[in-house]
């Protein structure tokens, strides 16, 4: 049972990992994007729309295209969301919190609207859109996974998007910490005025970080729909987007810590299913744990005042050169 738990914890953690890697990159540029939950919905539904039409209009599905089309659609959808956010906050210097929350309303609305429309289109009896073929392609795992017993079940039985999430997180950690681009990005987030004086194009970094971050976060929505459940149902993604933002704090803005953190959060998210004997009501209380853990981390990091574990200095503030 523990192996099954671990396997599911990984699968639950992956959408959070995508979301938090994207948000870490965004926040490192000083943009607190509270639109991540909405972006993840859009990433999910865009992929579903792509997959839906490919599945319905092409009789013989090419496995390569079946994966590529939803993947690209998802990226484009979340890129557009990232552009809306960057345009409003960077170019028009709008308030980031308000923009982010509006983006979440908008994104969740888009997801549920088109999800509902597709559901009506297929006239199915359950309120959901299922994509059996596409999700089968996404779930394709390594052929030898079945022969490796428990280890294979836990670590090698997943679709490629699980490994992609970990890879993206590790690459992001490397870029942020070890490369010049990463240094510049961090400078923009800590003190845009200093970065500007040094000749770094602040707006370009903010735009790029936010858009790339959104695209990565959107993949989390895609993974959840086409791989983890294989069905789009309205509001099915739930509040995972907020949990991804919580994970950013838990990982103290380090994508590599987010990998392990996502496993923990994924586990905490489903642990109530495994604690039996307290009744349905108590399960609702157990669902609280990821949020409580996040608050504890938030408190502890702020009390310890370690320089490395603080949020980027200018997080949440728009930059205007003439206001230095």
Partner 1 sequence: MKMREPLFHIAKRRRMDFWKAWLIRIVAVLFALVVSGLVSYLLTKTNPIEIYQTMWKGSFKNARYIWNLAQGIAILLCVSLAVTPAFKMRFWNIGAEGQALIGGLVAATCMLKLEGAMPSWLLILVMLCGSMLAGAIWGLVPAVFKAKWGTNETLFTLMMNYIAIQIVSYFTYIWAVPAGSGKIGIINQKSQIGWLPALFGQKYLINILVVLAVTVIIFVYLKYSKHGYELSVVGESENTARYIGINVKKVIIRTMILSGALCGLAGFLLVAGTDHTIDSNTVAGRGFTAIMVSWLAKFNPFSMILTSLLIVFLQRGAGQVATDMGLNESFSDIITGIIIFFIIGCEFFINYQIKRTGRREESK
Q: Could you list the residues that contact partner 1 (CB under 8 A)?
A: 32, 34, 84, 87-88, 91-95, 97-99, 101-113, 115-117, 120, 234, 239, 242, 245-246, 249, 279-282, 284-285, 287-288, 291-292, 294-295, 298-299, 302-303, 305, 311, 316, 320, 322-323
Instruction: Please report how close the Cβ of residue 138 comes to partner 1 at its closest, in angstroms.
Output: 25
How far is the C-alpha of 225 from the C-alpha of 304, rounded, in Å? 39
DSSP class per residue in 149-163: HHHIIIIISS-HHHH
Q: Write down the residue that tokens 């839906």 correspond to.
A: 52
How far is the C-alpha of 101 from the C-alpha of 67, rounded, in Å? 31
Instruction: Please report how close the Cβ of residue 96 comes to partner 1 at its closest, in angstroms.
Output: 10
Instruction: Please report how close the Cβ of residue 300 comes to partner 1 at its closest, in angstroms.
Output: 10
Measured at the alpha carbon of residue 289, what is the angle toward residues 288 and 293, in degrees to the nearest 5? 125
Q: Please identify, using beta-carbon distances, which residue of 38 and 47 lies nearer to partner 1.
A: 38
Give the closest residue to 134 by CA, choosing from 62, 218, 219: 62
Q: Please identify, using beta-carbon distances, which residue of 116 and 152 lies nearer to partner 1.
A: 116
Instruction: Please report how close the Cβ of residue 36 comes to partner 1 at its closest, in angstroms.
Output: 12
Question: 191 — phi, psi (to 5°)?
Answer: -150, 90
Q: Please identify, using beta-carbon distances, which residue of 62 and 117 lies nearer to partner 1.
A: 117
- Spell out the alpha helix ranges (H) of the chain: 2-28, 36-57, 63-86, 96-122, 132-139, 149-151, 160-178, 180-190, 192-197, 202-222, 240-250, 255-270, 279-286, 289-304
Q: Please identify, using beta-carbon distances, which residue of 151 and 299 lies nearer to partner 1.
A: 299
Q: Please identify, using beta-carbon distances, which residue of 30 and 115 lies nearer to partner 1.
A: 115
- Give the distance from CA 164 to its chain's centroid: 13
Q: Please identify, using beta-carbon distances, which residue of 1 and 280 lies nearer to partner 1.
A: 280
- Burial grade of 73 (CB within 10 A; 0-12, 13-18, 19 or more): buried
How far is the C-alpha of 68 from the C-alpha of 62, rounded, in Å? 10
Element (H, E) at 11: helix 2-28
Q: Please identify, using beta-carbon distances, which residue of 220 and 290 lies nearer to partner 1.
A: 290
Q: Please identify, using beta-carbon distances, which residue of 94 and 145 lies nearer to partner 1.
A: 94
Instruction: Please report how close the Cβ of residue 241 comes to partner 1 at its closest, in angstroms.
Output: 11
How far is the C-alpha of 323 from the C-alpha of 169, rounded, in Å? 35
Instruction: Please report how close the Cβ of residue 243 comes to partner 1 at its closest, in angstroms.
Output: 8
Instruction: Please report how close the Cβ of residue 281 comes to partner 1 at its closest, in angstroms.
Output: 4
Instruction: Please report how close the Cβ of residue 128 comes to partner 1 at its closest, in angstroms.
Output: 13
Instruction: Please report how close the Cβ of residue 311 comes to partner 1 at its closest, in angstroms.
Output: 6
Residues paired with residue 231 on neighbouring β-strands, in sequence order: 130
CB 47 within 8 A of CB 226: yes
Give the closest residue to 125 by CA, choosing from 233, 199, 239: 233
Q: Please identify, using beta-carbon distances, which residue of 198 and 284 lies nearer to partner 1.
A: 284
Cα dihedral 302, 291, 255, 314 sign: negative
């Amino acid at each position: 049972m523990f192996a099954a738990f671990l396997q599911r914890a990984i699968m639950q953690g992956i959408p959070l990992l995508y979301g938090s890697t994207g948000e870490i990159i965004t926040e490192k540029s000083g943009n607190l994007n509270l639109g991540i939950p909405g972006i993840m919905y859009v990433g999910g539904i865009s992929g579903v729309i792509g997959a839906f039409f490919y599945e319905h209009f092409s009789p013989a599905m090419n496995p390569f295209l079946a994966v590529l089309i939803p993947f690209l659609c998802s990226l484009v959808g979340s890129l557009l969301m990232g552009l809306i956010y960057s345009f409003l906050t960077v170019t028009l210097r709008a308030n980031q919190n308000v923009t982010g929350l509006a983006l979440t309303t908008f994104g969740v609305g888009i997801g549920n609207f088109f999800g509902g429309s597709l559901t009506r289109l297929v006239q199915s009896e359950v309120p959901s859109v299922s994509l059996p073929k596409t999700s089968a392609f996404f779930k394709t795992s390594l052929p030898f996974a079945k022969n490796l017993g428990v280890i294979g079940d836990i670590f090698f039985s997943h679709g490629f998007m699980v490994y992609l999430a970990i890879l993206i997180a590790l690459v992001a950690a490397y870029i942020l910490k070890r490369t010049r681009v990463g240094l510049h990005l961090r400078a923009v987030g800590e003190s845009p005025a200093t970065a500007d004086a040094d000749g770094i194009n602040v707006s370009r970094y903010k735009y790029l970080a936010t858009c790339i971050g959104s695209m990565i976060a959107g993949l989390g929505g895609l993974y959840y729909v086409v791989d983890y459940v294989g069905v789009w149902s309205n509001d099915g993604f739930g509040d995972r987007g907020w949990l991804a933002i919580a994970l950013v704090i838990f990982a103290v803005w380090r994508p590599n810590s987010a990998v392990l953190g996502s496993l923990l959060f994924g586990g905490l998210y489903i642990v109530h299913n495994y604690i039996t004997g307290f009744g349905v009501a108590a399960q609702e209380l157990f669902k609280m744990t990821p949020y409580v853990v996040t608050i504890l981390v938030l408190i502890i990091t702020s009390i310890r005042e370690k320089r490395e574990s603080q949020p980027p200095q200018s997080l949440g503030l728009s930059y205007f050169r003439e206001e230095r």
